[in-house]
Amino acid sequence: MDLIVFLVVLSAALMHAVWNSIIQSSQNSFLETLNFGVWKIPLTLTLIILLPIPHPDSWAYIAASICIHSVYVYALAYTYSKNELTQAYPIFRGSAPLIILLLSYFILKENISSIGWLAVIITSIGIISMSIIGNKINFKSSLSISIVAIAIVSYSMIDGVGARLSMQSFSYLAWVFFIHWSIYSIFIIKQEGYSACINHLRNNYIKGMFAAGISFLGYGLILWAMTKAPIPYVAALRETSIIFVGLIGYLFLSEKMTIYKILSLITIVIGAVLLRLA
């Protein structure tokens, strides 16, 4: 993987870890997703006006992505309301790269080197192992975790191809997020109540604007990277965000850092180094 692409994806991974931590640390995960979701609406609308329209071949992918992202964010918020960040995050983020690797190779016919295969597998094992060695997952969250994992695989594949076809990855994402977050925001306001939503937005608008910015930029950089490198490489390297998640959970969310978690993190770092060499 090219060094610039590698560093861009690592930067996006850090952004991803930060906004996930913001959701999990909130007393109400649904209100927090609304908090940064509403700020994405004016942001993406501005980009829609300024950027070229995506190529027509990508619009079917935009439609599919909107549906999948809506399911993903809701299931993600529910999962974080029931489990620790460092417990739930590794399961759905670690399993996805393995599935994406297989689908990319057999369906998209991506050119995957031997080192690439090894890198993705090692990275995924390291990520998943972090959940196995921790506390037990809330049983009621099993379905939502499965939905999140399936959604990650789906939107990664769809957006990876869609961004390539669009010829404008940031414009592609602006359209997806504008429509998705507009619909999602209305749904959450109806679910949580107008007064609760307004109070939360009023008291946390700075955090919301910050999370909205890094969320869009982070995923936009991922889609750009998928136009420059094989999708499974980018997807796996993005999941090294678990390293940042582990540090954030330990430093700011009072989550334990055991020797087993440290070994898992080292395994993930090895996988990231191999992805650089792939």
Is 106 buried (19+), middle (13-18) or exposed (0-12) by CB count in 10 A? exposed
- Over residues 13-23, the mean pLDDT reads 90
CB count, 10 Å around CB of 81? 18
Tell me what pLDDT residue 139 has: 61
pLDDT confidence band for 92 (50 / 70 / 90): confident
Q: Tens digits of per-residue pLDDT, 206-239?
A: 999 999 999 999 999 999 999 999 999 999 999 8
Tell whether the model's pLDDT for residue 188 goes beyond 60: yes
Rounded distance between C-alpha atoms, residue 48 and residue 220, angstroms: 14
Return the H-helix or E-strand segment holding 46. helix 29-50
Tell whether the model's pLDDT for residue 153 goes beyond 80: yes
> What is the percent of the chain with per-residue pLDDT over 90, rounded to a whole number?
70
How much is the pTM? 0.89
- Over residues 195-200, the mean pLDDT reads 96
What does the block give as tokens for 123? 């990275």
Rounded distance between C-alpha atoms, residue 237 and residue 52, angstroms: 29
Give the burial string for 154-184 (b: 16+ CB within 10 Å, else e): bbbbbbbbbbbbbebbbbbbbbbbbbbbbeb
DSSP string, 203-225: HSHHHHHHHHHHHHHHHHHHHHH
Q: Tens digits of per-residue pLDDT, 245-278?
A: 778 777 886 777 788 888 988 999 999 999 999 8
What are the helix and strand counts (H, E) for the chain? 12, 0
Rounded distance between C-alpha atoms, residue 92 and residue 87, angstroms: 10
Average pLDDT, the chain: 90
Tell whether the model's pLDDT for residue 135 goes beyond 70: no
